[in-house]
Each structure stands twice: as C-alpha cells, then as structure tokens.
Amino acid sequence: MLSSSFDAAVPMLCVTMAALAVMGAEAFRAKDENMPLGGLGIIGLVGAAIAAALLWNRNTSSFGVIVADNFGLFVTMVLLIVGVLTFMFSAPVVRRDGLPKGDYYALVLFSIAGMIMMAVANDLLVVFIALEILSIGVYVLTGIRRQDPRATEAALKYFLLGAFSSAFFLYGIAFTYGLTGSTRLDRVGTYVAAQSMNDNPLLVVALGLLLVGFAFKISAVPFHMWTPDAYEGAPAVVTGFMSTGVKAAAFAAFARVFLSAFEPFSGEWAPMVWLLAAATMILGTVVGVAQSNLKRMLAYSSIAHGGYLLVGLVAANEVGKASILFYLLAYAITNLAAFGVIALLGAKDDGRDDLRDYSGLWHTRPALAALMTVCLLSLGGLPPTAGFIAKWYIFSAAVSAGYYGLAIIGVLTSVVSVFFYLRVVVMMYMAERPTTAPPPAVPAVGMVALAASVAMILSLGILPTPVLNLAAESIATIF
Amino acid sequence: MLLTLSWLLPVAGALALLLIGNADGRRNGVIRWLTLAAAVATFAVTVLVWAGFDGASSEFQFVERYPWIPAFGIDYYLGVDGISLLLVVLTSFLTPIALLSSWGSIDRKVKEFSVFMLVLEAAMIGVFVSLDLFLFYVFWDAMLVPMYFLIGIWGYDQRIYAAIKFMLYTMAGSVLMLVAILGLAYLHRTATGTYSFDLLKLYTLDIAPQTQVWFFLAFTVAFAIKVPLFPFHTWLPDAHVQAPTAGSVILAGVLLKMGTYGLLRFSFPLFPDAAAYFAPVLALLAVIGIVYGALVAMVQPDMKKLVAYSSVSHLGFVVLGICAMNLQGVQGAIYQMLAHGVSTGGLFLLVGMLSDRRHTRLISEFGGLKAVVPRLTAAFMIITLASIGLPGLNGFVGEFLIMLGAFRWDARFVVVAGLGVILSAVYMLWMFQRVYYGEVTHEENATLRDLLPREWAAVVPLCVMAFVMGVFPTFFLKPMEASVDAIVQRVQQGQTLRAERLETAERAERLER
C-alpha cells in the first residue's frame, strides 16, 4: 500500500518543527533575552501526542516506509511521555548548570523525532536513518558539559562504539538486501516467507549483524561496555532520557524487525536472543551490586531491564509482544523519574550521585526520599507498582511460551536487584542524619514531574487493565 | 463489603496520617490515638465478620468478586472460610496490642512508624482473605516493604543487616512461587482455554504428578522460609531480635502463620499427589525443627532470641499437624497457629517491656524481679505457661490435637515431637526462674516500674485470651471444622482419584500385553 499521505508522519514532524522553532528562537534572540524554550518544546510534544492519539486505530502509512500502526503509536506515546518528563526535569537543571539552553532543547527534540521515526519505520534504511538521528543528538547531549572531562570521555566512548555498532547494523541491512532484494520490512517478510531459506548461511550472517546492531543500542550483554561510562559521565537528566528513550525506540524497531520480517526464522534467532537475555539479566544485576555510584548502579540496572525486555522478545507470543510495550512504558516512567531525583538533587559543580550523598535524605528531603523509594521499588518489581505488573507480564509471557528457565533466571535476578535498590533505601532512611549542608530546595516544576511520574507508577500498578488492553490492542494490528 | 473494609480501613488510616504534619515530633499524641482508632475499628470489622460467619458451612463466605485484569482472568476475589477467619481476627487483634507496646518506646518518626504498621496490617489481612492467586501474591509481596522499614528504621543495632536479610530471604522464596503461579494459570489455559488465577478453579485442575512435584516445591519453599521450617529458619532470629517490639509481636504473631496458612491453603490442596509424596519429608524437617529449636533456645543468653527459637520449635508442631492431613491434625495446627500468635506475641511484648525498662535483653542482667514487679511477673508467668502448653491454657489444645492427628498418621514423628514439649518446659521455665526468682543481683533492677495502665491494656487481653482459648476450645474449633474437613477431603480425594486412575492405566497396559 503505497500512499503519499503525510498523516503517519505528523507526530514526528510536530517534534521536528518544535526543534527547528527552538533553534530559530535561540539564533534570533537578543543576547540577554530569556525565552521559554522549554515551553516551546513541550507544546511541540503535546501536539505530537494529540496527533498520535488521533491516528490511533487508523493504521495509516506514509510513503510506504512509515507506518502509524498501533504498535508504533504506543511506543510514540511512551517516547512523548519521556520527552515531556525530560523537559520538566531539564528546566531547573539547565538553569542551575548553565547549559546552553537552545542547543540542549533542540538536541533533545531532534533525538525524540529520531526515536519516533525509529518506532514507526517500516524500512530497514529508515530505521538506520532514525538510529543515526537519535544517536547523534544523544552523543552531543552526553558531552554537553564540555568543561567536565568525564562527560567528554563518556561522549567520545559512546560515539566510537555507537559508530561501530551502526556499521554492523548497516552491514546487516546490506546482506538482507542482497538476499531478498528489498529493505522494506513487509517485502522482506513476504520474500522470506515464500522462499525456504532455512539453510542459507548468508541469512544467519544478516540476522547476526542486525542483532549485534540492536544489541549495542539496547546495551545487551556483551555489547553493553559503553553503557556504564556513558551513563555516569552524562548529566543525570540526559542519562535518564537516553536510558529510557533510546531503549524504547531501539526495542520497538528490534521487535518490529525480528517479530514481523524475520518471524519465520525465530528458530534461528530465538536461541541467540535467549542467551543475550540470560547474560544481560545476570550480568546487569550481579555487577550492579558492586556499584557505589548511584548513576553507575542505575546504568547496570537499566542493562538488566533490557534483559527482561529481551525475555518478552524471546517468548514472541501475543503476551510477549504486548508485555514488551507495557514494560517499556513502566520502565520508562520509573527510570526517568529515578534519574530525575538524582538530577534535581545535584549541584552545579557536584553531581551528588554517590551513594553516600543520599545518606539520611529522609531527614532533609522527606518527600524526595519517598518518591525515590517508590521508583526504586518499582524498578525492583514490588507490588503495588508498575514495575511489578510489568515483570509479571513479561514472565507470564515466558512461562506461557514454555521458557521456564528464563522466567526463573528473571525472578532470581530481580531478587538480587532488589538488594542494590534497597541499598539506596537503606542510605536514605536508615543511615544517620547527614552532617553536610542539606541539598538545595527542589523547584516546583521538578516536583510536579516527579509527583506525576509516581502517580502514574502507582496507578499502573493498581489499575493496569486499561493500559494492558491498549498494549494488547497495539500488537493485534501487526505481526 | 466487610472484607474489603477490613483491609481498606487501615490503608485509609495510613493515608489520613500522611496528611498530618509531624515534624520534630509535633502531634505525636494525635497520631498515636488515630492509629489505634483505625486498628481498633479494623478489629471491630473483623469481629463483625466472625459474628456473621456460618460455621456449619465449608463454603467461602463474605465473597466479593470484581474483575481486575480480565484479559488474564485475574479477579479481585475475597472470601473467608473457617481456616482464614480466625487468622484474620488474630491479625486485627494483635495489631492494636502491638501499637500499644510501641506507645512509649517509639518516639522518633512516629507518623511513619504508624503508617507502616497500618499498611502492614492491611497487607496481612489481604493475604488471608485473597482467593485469587495473583491478588494473594500482591499482598504477600507488599507485606515485605513495611516490615522491612519497621525493622530497618526502628530496630536495634544490627537492624539494617536483619532487615535486608529478611527481605531477600523471603523474596527469594516467593519469586519462585510467582513462576509456579504463572505456570498454574497457563496450565488452566491449556486445559480450558482461558487463563485463571481463581483458587477454586485451580483446585479442580488435573495436574500431572511430575509437574506437581515442581510446583509443590516452588510453593512450599516460599512458605517454608516464612514458617520458618528448619533449615530455612536462619533469617528469623536476626529479624526477631533486631525488630522493635511491635515488629516482633506482629512477626511472630501473624507473619509466620502466613507460611503455615499457605501450606494448608495452597501447597497441599493444589498438589495432593506431590503433597502425599513430600509430607514425610516435611514432617521430618518439622520434628527436627521442634527439637533443634528447643535445644538452641535453651542456651540463648538473650531473651528475645530464646523466644525466637521457641517459635521455630512451636511452628514445627503446626507443620507436623498439616502434614498429618486429618481432621485432628489440621484443626490442631490452626489452633496452634492462633495460640502461638497469642502466647508468643505476648512473650515478645513482655520481653519488650523489660527491655524498654533496662535497655538489655540478656537473661543474666536480670534476676529476682518477682519482688520488684509482681504484676509483670504474674503476666509473664501466665504467658510462659501458655507457651509451654499447660492444660487449661491455649497452648495445650493445639499441641494435643496435633499429636493426636499425627499419631493416627505416623506415630514415630509424635515420639520425637513429644520430646519438644518437655524441652519447651525446660527452656521457658528456666528462663523464668533466672529472670524472676532469686535475689535481685543488679541494683538497677531494684527500682524498675511495674506495669503502666497502657501496658495493662496490652497485656490483659492476651492473658484473657490464653485462658479463654484453653478452657473453651470448642468456641474456636467449631467454626473451622467444616472447612478443615473439606480441605482434608479435597487432598485425600485428589490422592485416591490419582491412585485409581493409575491403577486403571496399569490394568489397561497389562491387558494390552
């Protein structure tokens, strides 16, 4: 169905326009004029969200390579929520740290546009372009504190390894094209379904290369090396943004490519992904235990969460596909909020991201400590939070597909992960009152964003049915 | 509606408390009274449930059912039968007492303490009244969080270690149960086409014996850790000793019963074949626990630790009764759960009172208290004798019924378990003697205060219950009889059905040959 309608691309275009507007406004503002650039960005994001809501259930496509099916739109919504929350957390941080406002907001918006594109792309080359758009934005954001050597190091590492993985991915696309004569996912799908290619070694190579490319982006073990450094070096709010947005976008594309076009070969790739999932869950949690820096710890935790998402991908049944979507939403809100707390507690010259900095936070900032605790419990998968429902959903997918082994690894690693999440809680609640000066007051906009996140976490944990149904609806249209 | 109210009322109380400013201990009094009011109101609600309960029926009563996550057949599904009814009442009975015990000893962050206590109560009641496995698991896991904070914030020196150990131990057991629960729902789907977490529907599932073994183990390890059954008991002394008095009372009084309740409600009736296979093993671990717990309790210098190990021993009896799976054994087990809740809850309460006064729990630091605090001594005496199982007090009935039931099943276990009864008299009376009799050896002890009115209010209900349960056991045994009978029937029926079917299969095979 080749249609020249622009409809399917509207959410993406809204965000791009907002990014251009921010750039323009920044370029033409008077030197000391204070412009509400953040507000401008939020308007663009909300516009995109409205557009996405209107496209729901319409299954439109643009130029044949962008498809606004419910799956893509669900992920788009997740990304827009991530975007709005990021903006709300960023406002006080940008002011406090003196970050270049125009550049920062424009880069965030461009990255989001790339992420959305990745979620709705129906062509391997478009996936690749989207990947580059979002990656370049995020590379720069990682190193946006130019005076900080750690940030620069993180950005460079991230960039080099990212470029490396892009090459793998591109190579995989080339092989796919060589085998099937197309990069369009639907055509690749029909072609491979029609031909019996199970024994074709080239296909295994193509699958493997694509897998490596995606595995880098979702930081699956053993392609996770860049993650802890990049997450630690970047400003906390950027870390929150990339650990959720990039992962959501990459997973959406991963699921689309492997569960639609390459679905017939699940026999070939499922064992590989099984191994990736198990290794990612185990390494992410076990190494996470040894961290004393909160950002680094959450970096490993986000690696582990990638592993849980992979479990849903391996299961590959209806529950599994829907559970990926639900998990992405729950994880995105929770993780972003946790990084939001870190960002809001930091100071210009001191990130305050060491575990010790949280000692006795309960006494000085009780509300923040409570909000952080809810986030950590949700990350650990304890009821009644979104994280619990999400994990339950993923593991029920694994069990119903017969992957008891993965489910058991999953639940046991989540117990281990509870140990390190609790270390933070111990610091906040059970350590002595700190002797150092209390952290600065948190601006209202940050508190509003945190409160909204926690409200979403709890409501998803207590009344998940509407969103579970949406997720189930989303996968009904494709695959 | 009453059951929803019984767990929602504490939650509502907790939410109300959150709105009250409590910086630097302002309004502590208001908060304490409000918390107590919420807990007492909850108790009233559960008593209403008891009053309206029809003891002649084995059906679940006060049933409430609303779809929660329909796509997976998960319902908000509550109900009580004779097994859970009294455990719910026990929970709401002990919570106000635990609150009274913390009235004076918890003086920092009173609001947060009260919130966690009420949330804990809500989760415990939820565990006992859930008839949907998913809902049950939610309450089961949610209960860990407040208990973790109670131990970790208001506990003694080693509190953080104890809190984390408690949390990780219990979670490690329970997550495997989660996998088994998911597996059950999946089996239900393969059998009938829809997912279901409805306990009553899952009871009727026909599960292959090999699968039963795995699922039984996953459930039972979770419960065995909670009970705690030897050798899964190592978290218990740490958690008990480090927890504040209120935490210990709840931990011993209610939390441990969730394990034995789980065995009785889930492990045995869901997987009757595996249960028949593993019952002797569990019973063996139980009697080892009875004797081991008693022996270790005997040599403890710390009173709280002594009581903690005595719990290991007493809970061994409960497990033994459940393993016997006959009317007497199971009724005795439930009775012993209730009795242990009252008497061990009371012991922790009284030890807590001594420890509040002297800031030590070492037996050697006391001596001759009888002359100084006669009323406290009397209360301690009653509870001690109740715990030993003196006829006429609550402990006797349960232990007697359990041994009766176990004797009908396998007399060998009873012989060893009987040793535990004697040993319990030894360690309890020996402790009592060293603490209360003799000369006052430490002069600090000569000026200890006797019971305050508030402490009276906490102690008297327990002592009264110890007598009432000892003298009028029928009053408590009657409502549970029909339900216990039903569960025993269900387990035995499952086993005979399977045996018959195996026999027919074998015969068919032989014929073919």
Q: Give residue A95's pLDDT.
A: 87
**pLDDT of A120:** 92
Q: Say yes or no to pLDDT of B391 above 80.
A: yes
Length of chain A as a residue count: 479
Is the predicted pLDDT of residue A112 greater than 60, yes or no? yes
CB contact under 8 A, A383 and B149: no
Enumerate the residues of chain A whose CB falls inside 8 A of the CB of residue B176.
408, 411-412
User: Do the Cβ atoms of B432 and B388 come closer than 8 Å?
Assistant: no
Q: Which residues contact B149 (CB under 8 A, 6 or more apart)?
A: A429, B112, B116, B163
Residues A367-392: tens digit of each pLDDT: 889 999 999 999 999 988 999 999 99
Output the CA torsion sign for A386, A388, A390, A392. Answer: negative
**A163 vs B497, which has greater pLDDT?**
A163
> Which residues 65-84 of B have a C-beta within 8 angstroms of A?
68-72
Helices (H), B63-158: 82-101, 110-129, 133-142, 144-154
DSSP string over A174-202: HHHHHHHS--BHHHHHHHHHHS--TT-HH
What are the tens digits of pLDDT across the range B270-284? 998 888 889 899 999
Quick one: tokens of A294? 């909160």
Picking from B159, B167, B183, the nearest residue to A422 by CB comes out as B167
Q: What is the pLDDT of residue B36?
A: 92
Q: Spell out the domain ranges in chain B.
A: 2-512
CA distances from A230 to A152, A227, B70, B396 (A): 9, 5, 42, 65
In this prediction the pTM is 0.92
Q: Convert the pLDDT of each residue in A314-334 to its tens digit.
A: 988 888 889 999 999 999 999
Residues in CB range of B501: below 8 A, 6 or more apart: none
Tally of helices (H runs) and strands (E runs) in chain A: 20, 2
**Distance (Å, whole) CA B69 – CA B138:** 13
pLDDT given at position A191? 84
Kindly state the percentage of chain A with pLDDT values over 70.
97
Environment class of B265 (CB within 10 Å of its CB; exposed 0-12, middle 13-18, buried 19+): buried
In a domain, residue A432? The reply is: yes
Task: Give the list of residues 6+ apart from residue A253 with CB closer than 8 angstroms, or none.
Answer: A118, A119, A121, A127, A130, A131, A214
- Could you report the per-residue pLDDT of B251-308, keeping only the tens digit for each? 888 999 999 999 999 999 899 888 888 989 999 999 999 999 999 999 998 888 999 9
Residue A404 maps to a domain: yes
- With CB atoms and an 8 Å threshold, state whether B149 touches A429: yes
CB pair distance less than 8 Å for B182 and A400: yes
Q: What is the pLDDT of residues B46-103, one digit of tens each?
A: 999 999 888 888 888 899 999 998 888 899 999 999 889 999 999 999 999 999 888 8
In a domain, A214, yes or no: yes
Residue A1: what pLDDT?
Answer: 44
Whether the per-residue pLDDT at A476 is higher than 80: the answer is no
B396 touches chain A (CB under 8 A): no
The CA distance from A85 to A91, in Å, is: 10
What SS3 class is residue B175? helix
What's the gap in Å between the CA of B389 and the closest CA on chain A?
A: 39
Q: B141 contacts in A (CB within 8 Å)?
A: 382-383, 388
Residue A431: its pLDDT value, please? 81
Measured CA to CA in angstroms, residue B400 lies from B289, B318, B355 at distances of 18, 11, 33
What pLDDT score was predicted for residue A197?
Answer: 63
Confidence (pLDDT) at A199 = 67
- B213 to chain A, any CB pair closer than 8 A? The answer is no
The answer to whether the CB atoms of A472 and B71 lie below 8 A apart is yes
At residue A252 the predicted structure's pLDDT band, cuts being 50, 70 and 90, is very high
Q: Which of A374, A375, A393, A404 to mutate to test the interface with B (most CBs of B within 10 A)?
A: A404
Residue A2 has pLDDT above 50, yes or no: no
A111: closest CA among A261, A190, A217?
A217
Q: Over chain A, what is the mean pLDDT? A: 89
- Mean pLDDT for the stretch of residues B434-455: 82
> Domains in chain A: how many in total?
1
In which element (H, E) is residue B435 found?
A: helix B411-436
Which positions in chain B touch A422 (Cβ < 8 Å)? 148, 164, 167
Per the domain annotation, does A1 fall within a domain? no
Cβ-based contacts of A382 with chain B (< 8 Å): 141-142, 144-145
- Per-residue burial over A121-148, b if 16 or more Cβ lie within 10 Å, else e, is bbbbebbbbbbbbbbbbbbbbbbbbeeb
pLDDT value at residue A479: 58
Residue percentage of chain B with pLDDT more than 70: 100
Give the residue-averaged pLDDT of B109-131: 92
- Interchain proximity A418–B138, CB inside 8 Å: no
The tokens of A240 are what? 């929150």
Domain span including residue A403: 7-477
Work out the minimum CA distance from B75 to partner chain A, whole angstroms: 11
Distance from CA of B462 to the nearest CA of A (A): 32
Indicate whether A2 belongs to any domain: no
ipTM score:
0.90
